[in-house]
Chain A
Amino acid sequence: MPQIGIFIDALQGSIPASFREKISDYVKKLPGIAFCIEEENLASSEALNRMGKRLEAGGLDGVVIMGGSPKLYEASFQKLRHPLPFNPYLFAVANIREQALWMMVEEEAALERAKTIISKTIRAVSNSKPIETQSLPLKPEVLILGGGVTGISIAQELAKSGLHIFLLEKGNHLGGKALELHKFYNRPLEVQKWMDEKISEVKNNPQITLFTHTELKRLDGHLGRFQAKIQGPDRTETVLSVSAIVVATGYAAKRETKGIYSHKRVTVFPEMEKLLSETKGPSLLWDGKKVEMVTYFLDGVNEDIKVDSINAVKQALLLQEAFQCQVAILCKDMKVAADGMERLYRKAREKGVLFFKYEEPPKLSIVNGQIQVDVRDTAAIQKKEQWPVSILSDLVVVGEAFVPAPETESLSGLLKIHLGNRGFLMEDNPQLLRVRSNRRGIFVAGACRFPQEVSESLIEARAAAQEVMALLSKGTYIYDLAVAEVDPKKCAVCYTCPRLCPHSAITVEKYGERNVYIISGTSQETKWGAAKVDPASCYGCGICVAECPAKAITLRHLTDEQIYAQMGLME
């Protein structure tokens, strides 16, 4: 007969004394109860100390806490790891406050309900087994894919913390899309000078091993034991073993070339940026002629309005101030949701940059070698009478479509991480876990997730570096074995679970002793292939457990018996 210890938590009086008394009378009559202690507030440190002393005495097979929601107690016991001398998986919580006391109309019914919950919980805990903790050594080595501004910044941050970094770049030079920039919108620095400093620092840092013209070919293993096969410039292959991987492969831009967009007086942002950085004189020349009127047409080609808005306002100010041009910016919606952008936008208005808001896309036509832009401005006072405006421009600047970098899809297959809706890489949780991928130990940062401005990428780079440090700084990864486990003898290698695992924690490996589906003695090999769950990568969701046709997988902290006990179906 298992011995169960009971703690009744009054939750600071929210479970009334009369109710507690009835509960404790009922509990004391049950068989196999070692003790029943009432506490005023179990989450307080004094109560936890008393509880610890009581548990140290030993002789218990399980502990049931009667009180509020298990989520309350899990927060204080498991996640904060209060050092209770008892396995956290032998605790069970009977939620008699939320589910009985507060949910039933009459007290009589509440008491009945509470009794059922208690007996269910005691059954469940009698079926629990202790779950041990394991630790995984982590080498201080990180692989970063992509040598753009994000990748470089992460490498610099991590090198400062003493990690060794392998930085992979598919092209022959570092810098990525940031090399197309001339000025920051929010800092007085020259981008190229700043980038050159960063790049030379990365190149001379002994902590960073740089690979250019190199691509990832294959990835095996899980957190702490990733084996990355990379291919260098002359098809030489190297295998790197790293603890964590950061993906910062950036985005690609696609220029629209159809129709009027191929006209020589239509250009794109990077070319404009280049022109502005190269021109020194008081006037701007395009195709040998002086430029006086520049029109920016946002939202036409590119739907990611944020980066284009920033660049348009930044360039417009430069054009107005340094080159005496008149600038008009046409957009459906201006997006100034970046640090300091509101101020910059106001400044642009004050300097005389014209902003037109349209609903129907403007028409572009060629008049005497110039481009005439016809737009109906909806920002007029009379909403119904949209004011038709024609702007005869020397130069029209349009956006480029931002698309995922061409290798993103194959990379997501190699790394087994998810793609989002538009083909960019997907983070684990867009609100809470912004730089983690769905796999433990793989992080995604920068414009491979969505197109972004340099300052935004720098913030993401810092966030990713912090996440990597938080994972690797201790040198070990400690985890509970509360995970799914495959019985290799039952596994039929049907590949259902590796396909379904949301965190790609399951692989098929040769480790099983014997598989019933293979007739023994037909092969020389002693180890058979079977699905294997990597315990450090498993999040314990149980999808594979429920799906396995051979019922070869069990969830260690929530077995069938425990579920049946919760359903009240156990005899």
Chain B
Amino acid sequence: MSSFDPKIIAFCCDQSGYPAADMAGTLKLKLPRNIEIVRVPCAGRIETIYLLKALEKGADGVLVFACYEENCQFLRGNLRAKARLAYAHRMLEGIGLEKERVEICHLATNSGVKFVETLRRKSEQLKKMGPNPAKES
């Protein structure tokens, strides 16, 4: 089990999440190995199906990096993302998966440290949880 390296898909909104990821790189903060960064114009672009497809197709966890609430450039994009996440959580519970595998994190452009810390924490958490049983082999 020690060799298990959880795969995380990180959706980053173009206004906060992605610049924060860049900032983390610039600060040379080290990330866990197995992370895919997906750039979207706004967290509101992320559909529920993406979150579920990610888990189905091999990810162990999904993180959404969005702007702070009431701080979205598109006003309610981050709230829509949160609502879709809640919907995904209900579905995950329905099929007996841990809902902690999908999580939203609000941050700002300059939160490079928070970006990395969240990913590290998630990675540790997923290591304890074990591989996602729902993924296609």
Contact = CB atoms under 8 A, between A and B. Distances in A.
Given A558-B41, A569-B57, A546 B31 contact: no
Given A502-B75, A568-B36, A543 B29 contact: no
Contacts of B130: none
Contacts of B76: 500, 502, 543
Nearest to A539: B74
Given A102-B26, A120-B36, A564 B19 contact: no
A546 B47 contact: yes
Contact of A543 (B33, B44, B53): B44
A69 B77 contact: no
A71 interface: yes
B86 interface: no
Which of A69, A97, A558 has most chain B Cβ within 10 Å? Answer: A69
B31 A563 contact: no
Contact of A98 (B22, B33, B42, B47): B22
Interface stretch (A103-111, A307-315, A329-337): A103-111
Given A104-B30, A113-B33, A541 B77 contact: yes
What band does the interface of chain A fall in when counting residues whose beta carbon is under 8 Å from B?
35 or more
A567 B42 contact: no
B107 interface: no
A173 B58 CA distance: 69
Contact of A103 (B30, B46, B53): B30
B73 interface: yes
A500 to B, nearest CB: 7
Contacts of B36: 116, 120, 566-568
B9 interface: yes
B24 interface: yes
A70 interface: yes
Interface string B14-26: 0000110110111
Contact of A70 (B39, B46, B74, B84): B39
B74 A543 contact: yes
A70 B25 CA distance: 13
A418 B75 CA distance: 10
A99 interface: yes
A543 to B, nearest CB: 3
B121 interface: no
Given A71-B19, A98-B22, A541-B74, A105 B30 contact: yes
Contacts of B74: 502-503, 539, 541, 543
Nearest to A112: B33
Which of A97, A98, A503 has most chain B Cβ within 10 Å? Answer: A98
Interface residues of B, number: 37
B25 A500 contact: no
Contacts of A539: 74
A540 interface: yes
Interface string B26-66: 10111101001111111011110010011001110000000
Nearest to A426: B75
A429 interface: yes
Interface in A402-430: 418, 429
Contact of B44 (A98, A113, A438, A541): A541
A95 B21 CA distance: 11
A569 B22 contact: no
B30 to A, nearest CB: 5
Interface string A58-101: 00000000000111000000000000000000000001011100
A418 B70 CA distance: 13
Contact of A542 (B21, B22, B42, B54): B42
Contacts of A113: 33
B119 to A, nearest CB: 10
Interface string A489-511: 00000000000101100000000
16 contacts: A69-B25, A98-B21, A99-B25, A102-B28, A109-B33, A113-B33, A429-B73, A502-B77, A539-B74, A541-B42, A543-B80, A546-B44, A563-B40, A567-B59, A569-B57, A569-B58
Interface of B: 9, 18-19, 21-22, 24-26, 28-31, 33, 36-42, 44-47, 50, 53-54, 57-59, 73-77, 80, 84
Interface of A: 69-71, 95, 97-99, 102-105, 109, 112-113, 116, 120, 418, 429, 438, 500, 502-503, 539-543, 545-547, 555, 558, 563-564, 566-569
